[in-house]
Amino acid sequence: MSIRARGPRYVVQGSAQLRGSVRISGAKNAALAMMCAALLTDEDVVLTNVPEITDVESLGELLSSLGATVEHQGRGRLRINAAGVHTYEAPTELITENRASFQVLGPLLARHGFASSAPPGGDVIGQRPIDVHLSGFEAMGARVSREGERFVARAPGGPGSLRGARVFMDYPSVSGTQNVMMAAVLAREHSTVVNAATEPEVQELAHLLNAMGARIEGIGTQMLEIDGVTSLHGATARVMPDRIEAGTFAIAAAMTGGEVDIEDAPLPVMDGLLAKLRAAGAAITDGEGFLRIERTSDLRAVSFQALPYPGLATDLHAPMAALLTQANGVSIIHERVFDNRMLYVSELRKMGAEIVSTGSSAIVSGPTMLHGATVRALDVRAGAAVLLAALVAQGTTIIDEISHLDRGYEHLDEKLRALGAEIERT
Ligand code: UD1
């Protein structure tokens, strides 16, 4: 046993072939942003289809620590009420738990005129700056300063005094767009966000905000037009299914040569992945919210780039790389979103993968017979990649540091077991 091992681990028997059906959970990145939106009103925001993952738990704790009520009302249903918010300073130990927690800043600043936070946590997948968030707030008149390790943002004239502005985003950052959008909905007059992220999770947040009384147009485009309002009201919304979880199961089905029905798959936002899976040799049948993935012939090498939406999602880069270790030929992968997405490479190599990375690119040669090993889930998606590899490897794989997987995948081992995988959490 590795002396480094701490916390739960997965023990996975290889040579699996996944068969059966799996239901997709609510989307992590939509749910987290939607939870932050509850800070914009005194009324209840009720979210359904919220995934049971540790990122949701830790953000819930953060909202509670600010004074909000966060109530679990049965499976997947969360009621948040921010009437009791009494502090606008996010505790450092909670903010560093995940990336999305920094999104409390925009709502607090817009509504209460003041917000302070340490830089956010999350996966170590690159530099992950926050300049886009902060310059958006500054464009709306906020003064942002660094006090020790914390960022402090003040609206020019106290609560409700942000001014609508034309905000240009240097990069179409997902959480940056969500943060700036949440500030702009309560700013005076009109804002235009230029070069906004178009990810489905950004769109989901915008729809929730409109249901709360905001006036956002251009949802899903790179130009958001936002008319500020003076207050928002409560709303109830169902979180969209997680396209990354659906994609991970689709890749698993193709990789193990099985046949899996994926229920509640958000098909209209999965083109990037499905095109590549088809090119790699998977047979895909789709209907409304339903996806069947099967593979009866050998996998073929495919090259791809991970891009902002609607390109193939960077969160599926590592799982796709795992699949390509089983494909005939040489695949080339270019990562265009993050500068350090390659943490999975060393772990897959421990299992016998022929994969090399240079900068933000990886070259995979296949097919290789993978073998069991002791590996680490170095971030949530790198963890998914080694888990997929473990399913097809010969022998037993032990995956350490699976707390990363718990952050983003709901009941992952249970779902895989239901599809026939031999996986134990120990
Ligand atoms: C979100 C998702 C994450 C996903 C990513 C890209 C959440 C909680 N996480 O992360 O799962 O992988 O989108 O789809 O929603 N950047 C800047 N300046 C900034 C902010 C970002 O240059 O102020 C750059 C980053 O360095 C990175 C790129 O933008 O290269 C993408 O980051 P961003 O879109 O912000 O990702 P997150 O919102 O952190």
| Span 316-321, average pLDDT | 98
Q: How far apart are CA 271 and CA 381, in angstroms?
A: 19
Q: How far is CA 66 from CA 3, 85, 127, in A?
A: 38, 5, 28
pLDDT above 80 (res 178)? yes
Point out which residues pair with 167 in neighbouring strands. Answer: 193
List, for residues 82-115, the tens digit of each pLDDT value: 999 999 998 888 887 777 889 999 999 999 999 9
Nearest protein Cα to ligand 1, atom 39: 175
Query: 3-state DSSP call for residue 36?
Result: helix
pLDDT above 80 (res 6)? no
- Is 381 near ligand 1, meaning CB less than 6 Å away? no
H or E segment to which residue 388 belongs: helix 380-392
| Span 258-285, average pLDDT | 96
| Best CA proximity match to 393, nearest among 426, 357, 421 | 421
Mean pLDDT of the chain: 94
Q: Which two tokens stand for residue 290?
A: 């339903």
Rounded to the nearest angstrom, the gap between the alpha carbon of residue 206 and the centroid of all alpha carbons in its chain is 17
Confidence of residue 332 (pLDDT cuts 50, 70, 90): very high
Which ligand 1 atom is the nearest neighbour of the CA of 135? Answer: 23
Q: How far is the CA of 211 from the centre of ligand 1 (A)?
A: 25
| Alpha helix stretches (DSSP H) within 242-379 | 243-256, 271-280, 317-324, 343-350
Contacts of residue 418, defined as CB under 8 A and 6 or more positions apart, other chains included, come to: 20, 22
List, for residues 364-397, the tens digit of each pLDDT value: 999 999 999 999 999 999 999 999 999 999 999 9
pLDDT at 124: 56
Contacts of residue 112, defined as CB under 8 A and 6 or more positions apart, other chains included, come to: 85, 88, 159
| Span 259-269, average pLDDT | 96
Same fold? 10-25+241-425, 28-238: yes
pLDDT at 3: 45
Q: How far is the CA of 173 from the centre of ligand 1 (A)?
A: 5
| Residue 32 near residue 60 (C-beta atoms within 8 A) | no
State the residue for tokens 């017979």: 369
pLDDT above 50 (res 184)? yes
Burial 339-368 (b: 16+ CB within 10 A, else e): eebbbbbebbbbbbbebebeebebebbbbb
HSE, side-chain direction, 13 A CA sphere, residue 414:
8
Nearest protein Cα to ligand 1, atom 33: 173
Q: Which two tokens stand for residue 336?
A: 């265009």
Domain edges within the chain: 10-25+241-425, 28-238
Total residue length of the chain: 426
Quote the pTM value.
0.96
pLDDT at 1: 39
Pairing state of beta strands 259-263 and 290-294? antiparallel
Confidence of residue 55 (pLDDT cuts 50, 70, 90): very high
| Residue 176 near residue 157 (C-beta atoms within 8 A) | no
Q: What dotted CATH number matches 28-238? A: 3.65.10.10
- Is 32 near ligand 1, meaning CB less than 6 Å away? yes
pLDDT above 80 (res 358)? yes
Q: What dotted CATH number matches 10-25+241-425? A: 3.65.10.10
- Is 198 near ligand 1, meaning CB less than 6 Å away? no
In terms of pLDDT, which residue wins out, 99 or 213? Answer: 213
| Best CA proximity match to 322, nearest among 385, 399, 409 | 385
pLDDT above 60 (res 125)? no
